Structure 1
């Protein structure tokens, strides 16, 4: 009996998310700088109360995109800088930041298994007959070639530290975050027995995540969890576009 993938979602249709993605698609180098901004400034601008924070955000964006070492047309840098400033002033900033990462991961994945003939699923319900794989949670992107080859799971977290702190014990996670971890553990155990051991990634904007990864591997005991930071994703986008 084959695996079933149901209740599939799609990448964000939010206009600002699509525009940011299109800018990254044309100029992948800009992803590194977008990620740096989203990593350093993690909350939206409240137009009434946050005038100082708004100045900080705008100055950081201008400083990063004024960097002459970014080999990209000035118009492209200016356009993305403006979109990011708009995102920080949008009431749905947290959603926008997350949806951009999810969009990029979905479009440029998978990250380990072969890109050719791959099937992509966003937040699917996966079943083997009547058996639910994982639990009732959803994982952002799942990539599949066939039931005889490894699935690849990628869960997106704009800030990996908010889900997997450097020292927090597994049993101290919030219920929501623990549910995602349990999903991946359960899916790994079931698929390893009945199909193939899956590949598991957490994708994030963070440039540094070694302490969080050490916590997962050494303290939680999940050495099959892997992380994708900003440079990892950028390198993959570069390789993906060369192959195309």
Structure 2
């Protein structure tokens, strides 16, 4: 496995767009979080905003870049024909895909941690000036730590989901379209459906709605699923995508 991991790390870091995409993940996460913090405010009587969701709002945007990175991690090899050389040198396909998943997850964990930490250090100062109570902005509190760690894990799961979809589809544009469609389609459907039961069901199976519930620090009783339980929804999507990708990878000639 060490040989597989070394090869996949070499390929990922030498992709032309990897550096730019990793930088974009950090910049978008921080910039959107800061922008969101600048446009919300709390009155002295009550506050209708969850501070953690505002601080880490940029994750909703940067997840699209994570998906693109994940897709390119494998479709780039199909585009250049390098996949044939990869399989000739390492014919054990499950090992190749597992190494890709581990490498991608590690890179996303590190980049996501930097992005989330930068957001956590910059946005709360703006919220404090906009009337948010100081006690809700304590970064070392259990709810805030869960929101931060959960945001990083969510981005990692989106990366694995994207890798699985791309392994099945093998086309960059199609794979990105499928992943982003599944991420952003459910929130739109929830807004269009009037029935409360259907809204709840769509929320519970939505990788984005359920996954980002891990950021919630207020009104937890109103959530259809608890924060950590809800994070299992994108985990299930990622597992299903990787399973499908693994089966497809093994059954095809290339």
User: TM-score category by the smaller chain?
Assistant: 0.3 to 0.5
Structure number having the greater strand percentage: 1
TM-score normalized by structure 1? 0.32
Structure number having the greater helix percentage: 2
TM-score normalized by structure 2? 0.31
